[in-house]
């Protein structure tokens, strides 16, 4: 076709460099329909004028006969577009979340406008099951050392773990995304992430918790706190570095409040997991039994139960 010369699809590496260097020139989500073939078309105008984008878009859609308009959310292919990743891409994103580097924004550099749902969903599922399994294993190991502890499979931990992890990994990004959109309405300068990109950031940042939970099997308390602190630091560093470019143009108060809330919620999740799943020994100073997180009361012997009830 004669017009094919006008549409020089950039190679994947060039597009990466362009996107990484000029984050303002990132394609908006409207051009996702054009990228489904695996090419990243970069509208390299830094002003991101919508008129130019429209022309480019109409040219491309006219020529790409196989290209359908964005399918509705009730069709299967709509959801298939969120699973359009290869093994190497998923591994690369996990690596990017594990080792956050100050220069590389996770969303711009690794997601590149192709957020996926595979990573967040299966990382959450793995984390939930690993939590339940290692929590159970901790009880087994504790019982070996101290035969007075009553061992039971504790299957309800699986459901608790699943609900907690999934709610955290999907509701918190929803709230965060809503908040950022509201600030974008107020500020008019910030280019916020889409909801899926926020879910991706949170989902991949939870990956570090999986080896951390496995390492928590080692029954040395200070080592457990060390691993917990390390994993939490890496995870929150990734989150903060990803959110910083979006929030730095906002007022200082809002930026600091948002980032500290994010860090606090993440820390609360780690602490909650540790206290709920990894305390086989009876806790005497824990909160009153009305709280869901004090599971250890179930395994207590009656005298200690009476004692903790008395102190609450």
Q: Strand, coil or helix: what is 27?
A: coil
Nearer Cβ to another protein (204/266): 204
**Apex 241 CA angle, 236 and 245, nearest 5:** 140
What is the rounded distance in angstroms from the CA atom of residue 189 to the CA atom of residue 238?
23
Least distance from another protein to the Cβ atom of residue 91, Å: 9
Residues in contact with another protein by the rule CB under 8 A: 76, 79-80, 82-88, 90, 118, 122, 125-126, 129, 133, 136, 151-157, 295, 298-299
Nearer Cβ to another protein (118/179): 118
**CB of 223 closer than 8 Å to CB of 231:** no
**CB of 259 closer than 8 Å to CB of 240:** yes
Least distance from another protein to the Cβ atom of residue 238, Å: 22
Nearer Cβ to another protein (9/82): 82
What is the rounded distance in angstroms from the CA atom of residue 122 to the CA atom of residue 177?
21
CA distances from 100 to 169, 205, 241 (A): 19, 10, 8
**CB of 272 closer than 8 Å to CB of 294:** no
Least distance from another protein to the Cβ atom of residue 149, Å: 12
Q: What are phi and psi of 22, to 5 degrees?
A: -120, 85
Nearer Cβ to another protein (125/256): 125
What is the rounded distance in angstroms from the CA atom of residue 28 to the CA atom of residue 18?
15
CA distances from 217 to 76, 139, 271, 281 (A): 41, 10, 15, 14
Handedness of CA 46, 194, 240, 112 (dihedral sign): negative
Least distance from another protein to the Cβ atom of residue 121, Å: 8
Least distance from another protein to the Cβ atom of residue 117, Å: 8
What is the rounded distance in angstroms from the CA atom of residue 77 to the CA atom of residue 69?
11
Torsional class of 42: left (φ above 0), alpha (ψ -120 to 50), beta (otherwise) = beta
Nearer Cβ to another protein (76/222): 76
**Apex 77 CA angle, 205 and 71, nearest 5:** 105
Least distance from another protein to the Cβ atom of residue 156, Å: 6
Least distance from another protein to the Cβ atom of residue 98, Å: 17
Least distance from another protein to the Cβ atom of residue 189, Å: 36
Q: Strand, coil or helix: what is 306?
A: helix
Nearer Cβ to another protein (79/182): 79
């Amino acid at each position: 076709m004669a017009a094919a010369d006008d549409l020089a699809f950039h190679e994947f590496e060039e597009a990466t460099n362009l996107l990484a260097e000029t984050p303002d020139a990132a394609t908006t989500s409207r051009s996702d329909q054009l990228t489904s073939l695996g090419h990243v078309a970069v509208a390299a105008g830094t002003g991101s004028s919508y008129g130019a984008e429209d022309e480019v878009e109409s040219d491309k859609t006219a020529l790409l006969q196989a290209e359908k308009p964005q399918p509705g959310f009730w069709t299967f292919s709509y959801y298939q577009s969120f699973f359009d990743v290869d093994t190497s891409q998923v591994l690369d994103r996990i690596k990017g979340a594990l080792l956050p580097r100050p220069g590389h924004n996770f969303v711009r550099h690794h997601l590149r406008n192709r957020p996926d749902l595979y990573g967040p969903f299966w990382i959450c599922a793995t984390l939930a099951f690993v939590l339940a399994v290692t929590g159970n294993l901790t009880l087994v190991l504790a019982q070996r050392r101290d035969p007075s502890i009553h061992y039971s499979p504790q299957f309800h931990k699986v459901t608790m773990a699943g609900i907690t992890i999934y709610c955290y990994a999907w509701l918190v990004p929803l709230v965060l995304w809503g908040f950022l959109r509201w600030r974008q309405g107020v500020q008019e300068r910030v280019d916020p992430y889409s909801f899926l990109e926020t879910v991706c950031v949170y989902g991949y940042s939870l990956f570090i918790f999986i080896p951390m939970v496995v390492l928590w099997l080692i029954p040395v308390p200070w080592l457990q706190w060390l691993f917990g602190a390390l994993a939490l630091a890496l995870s929150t560093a990734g989150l903060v570095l990803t959110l910083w470019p979006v929030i730095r143009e906002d007022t200082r108060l809002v930026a600091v409040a948002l980032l500290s809330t994010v860090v606090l919620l993440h820390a609360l999740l780690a602490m909650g997991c540790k206290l709920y799943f990894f305390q086989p020994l009876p806790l005497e100073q824990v909160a009153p039994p009305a709280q869901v997180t004090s599971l250890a009361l179930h395994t207590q012997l009656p005298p200690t139960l009476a004692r903790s009830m008395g102190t609450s």
